[in-house]
Structure 1
């Protein structure tokens, strides 16, 4: 076969170019640490690597969300723990204020300390996170959680009941905050009754108070009827010669609650203590279970401070105020405890899911390496082989390209 000069030149040049391309490709694989430079190199593995890259990026975002959530929950847990400590101190002060030896100035001192605790609690309830949002305002995290309303003379919640959740796995999203409405406002005030009112007979005075709060609370929860208010009315019916019966809305209880009535002697009923004086027989006195109220700790302290700062307050009124404050503070502390337990549960889930995601990342990276990472020994060997081949082809091309018909004529 006849071979022209151009054919001979082009064949040699193509050999040099192809060998150089192979060596460059091996060098690029070594530099980028992957054997798949384009999808055409291995279409099937390339598609799998793309899916693994997306999965790894998604998992990495889940891990970032987990870190952010854990930081926010840790901040909230710290705030609630500090609030519990302050509330416990307020409860101790409330109990101490019942000391009969306390003079007016002593009560004023207690009120002053309680006001400082109130300021501290307000500051904690308006805590901001690292992003500048109020952690207890729900979705409205740019609005102060609690503020004093001079019109109502009370502290009011200004956020909403939303909880901002972040995804930490394909199927799990956890809230990173709790609304102040749930943590602070959804707290039961002390269960109480109305006054004991004379509806018939000649009683000169009557009183009712809770002397066993635990027993009365259980009775209240089992008895209070939000659908039929009349069922919350109770009657102390006094009959000659000296019999009393406690009825519910004019109907005898089952079993019947009866006993011997003596004016001035206390009648105990479901944690309540009733006392009637005067020629009451026959007659009837009524009282009702007050509707349940929700009250935040700031307003609890506000009301109690006002009582302590009122000079010449009757001992019964002070006793009621102390009972209200201590029960509501205990309820608020219990609610905080439940919130902290919820936070602890979420942190445990976060830790578990975080470790699972780390394991998935390791597995996916290992599988991706098997599919795409270059074999260093193979790549180095290929570079050396192509380098030697390039040298040989270059030398051969130089010699061949210099041979022509004129060399034979000479």
Structure 2
């Protein structure tokens, strides 16, 4: 076969250029420490590396979210602890005020303490975080959540939102608590209905509605209702229940405090010894707010007549039961916050472990084997030098060298 000088020159030039390109590529890998610097180095590997990088970016974002959530929940948990202590102090004052040996001035002093405690709870409920956002305003973080209206009643100006932080794929946790749930919606101690002692009649011994709950929503028709105690004709006490229109829901039957009353899909448990002619109304109310409880307790303690009347005693006992339930409610919310904090630790550990796995996988795909690369570099350099020198010598040869 005949090989032209031009063809010989082009073939060797291409060979040298290819060796130089390979040598430069290896030199670039050694310089960067990476086996894959561009997609053409390893198209499949480059895609996998980019996916791993994106996964690490996402993991870093989740870790940042966890740090922020941890700070906010820690602050929230601290405020909830303060609230629990304030409720405990208030409950102790209510129990102290129920002592029949106290005089009017002693009760007034306790009422003042309760009002001061209420102001402290309002101040806590209006706390702000380091960014000036109100902790218990829901999504209305720039609105003062609790204010007093013209009547002196505490009203909530926020909403029922709870800010959340995404801490993993498809997983988010609340990082705030709204004031509606925490301060304005504690469970009513007696359940779904509340006794109206202010309009009750207790002519003899005190009686008390321990619970009034809906047990069969399908058959229940909302009230109000009235529990009436009647003469059975022989001087014994019967009990009946009527609705707001006077229709009988529970026909007269002997009253037995050990057996709850069942009517209209409800169950009502009572204690005490009602007399013939006594009565008490039930209004539907499943939630109470701490400020109304404290305000009413202070009003009752400020009354010069004291707490001796059976009706007053029953209402005061209801307030004590309510604040006890409110304290339990606050403890539940605080426990939820603690669980969220614990879940943050769990997910942070998972993210750290996953980060190690992805970093290791990325390193396997991307990082350079220096020993292998240096050996290949030396091999390519030697081949390049050899080919270059050989081509230079052959290129200068002509027929006249042998004539």
TM-score (norm 1): 0.77
Equivalenced residue count is 378
Is this contact kept in 2: 1:66–1:350, CA < 8 A?
yes
- Residue matched to 1:257: 255
Secondary structure, in 3 states, of the residue corresponding to 1:128? coil
- Residue matched to 1:206: 203
Alignment CA distance shift 1:295-1:234 (3 Å): closer
Alignment CA distance shift 1:153-1:12 (3 Å): same
> Shift of residue 174 of structure 1?
2.0
**Superimposed CA distance per residue, residues 48-97 of structure 1 (whole angstroms, 9 cap, x where no aligned partner):** 22222222222222222222222222222221111111110111111112
Secondary structure, in 3 states, of the residue corresponding to 2:138? coil
- Residue matched to 1:40: 40
Alignment CA distance shift 1:400-1:352 (3 Å): same
1:331 paired with 2:350, answer no
**Superimposed CA distance per residue, residues 262-299 of structure 1 (whole angstroms, 9 cap, x where no aligned partner):** xxxxxxx82144245xxxxxxx5543223326332233
Matched residues in 1 for 2:325 and 2:295: separation? 16
Is this contact kept in 2: 1:95–1:322, CA < 8 A?
no
> Shift of residue 120 of structure 1?
2.3
> Shift of residue 17 of structure 1?
5.9
- Residue matched to 1:202: none
Alignment CA distance shift 1:223-1:105 (3 Å): farther
TM-score (norm 2): 0.78
- Residue matched to 1:178: 177
**Superimposed CA distance per residue, residues 13-59 of structure 1 (whole angstroms, 9 cap, x where no aligned partner):** 87776555444322322333321121111111111222222222222
Matched residues in 1 for 2:153 and 2:378: separation? 83
Is this contact kept in 2: 1:93–1:110, CA < 8 A?
yes
Matched residues in 2 for 1:7 and 1:40: separation? 30
Secondary structure, in 3 states, of the residue corresponding to 1:217? strand
- Residue matched to 2:365: 371
Matched residues in 2 for 1:123 and 1:393: separation? 86
**Superimposed CA distance per residue, residues 217-264 of structure 1 (whole angstroms, 9 cap, x where no aligned partner):** 33555599962426x2222222545233111224655964379xxxxx
Secondary structure, in 3 states, of the residue corresponding to 1:229? coil
Alignment CA distance shift 1:118-1:243 (3 Å): closer
Is this contact kept in 2: 1:304–1:321, CA < 8 A?
no
1:289 to 277, 282, 288: 282
5 Å matches for 1:220-369? 220=213, 227-229=221-223, 232-249=225-242, 250=248, 256-257=254-255, 270-275=270-275, 286-292=279-285, 294-313=287-306, 315-316=308-309, 319-320=313-314, 322-369=316-363
Is this contact kept in 2: 1:126–1:146, CA < 8 A?
yes
Moved more, 368-377 or 312-321: 312-321
- Residue matched to 2:50: 50
Matched residues in 1 for 2:401 and 2:232: separation? 150
Moved more, 38-47 or 340-349: 340-349
Matched residues in 2 for 1:110 and 1:223: separation? 42
Matched residues in 2 for 1:344 and 1:186: separation? 21
Alignment CA distance shift 1:99-1:196 (3 Å): closer
- Residue matched to 2:195: 192
- Residue matched to 1:161: 160
Matched residues in 2 for 1:235 and 1:271: separation? 14
Structure 2 spans left out of the alignment, 5+ residues: 243-247, 258-268
Moved more, 360-369 or 329-338: 360-369
Matched residues in 2 for 1:285 and 1:327: separation? 22
- Residue matched to 1:29: 29
Alignment CA distance shift 1:56-1:307 (3 Å): same
Secondary structure, in 3 states, of the residue corresponding to 1:153? coil
Matched residues in 1 for 2:292 and 2:178: separation? 18
Structure 1 spans left out of the alignment, 5+ residues: 198-204, 260-268, 277-283
Is this contact kept in 1: 2:222–2:284, CA < 8 A?
no
Q: CA RMSD in A?
A: 3.7
Is this contact kept in 2: 1:126–1:144, CA < 8 A?
yes
Matched residues in 2 for 1:120 and 1:378: separation? 72
Matched residues in 2 for 1:240 and 1:255: separation? 12
Matched residues in 1 for 2:377 and 2:43: separation? 24
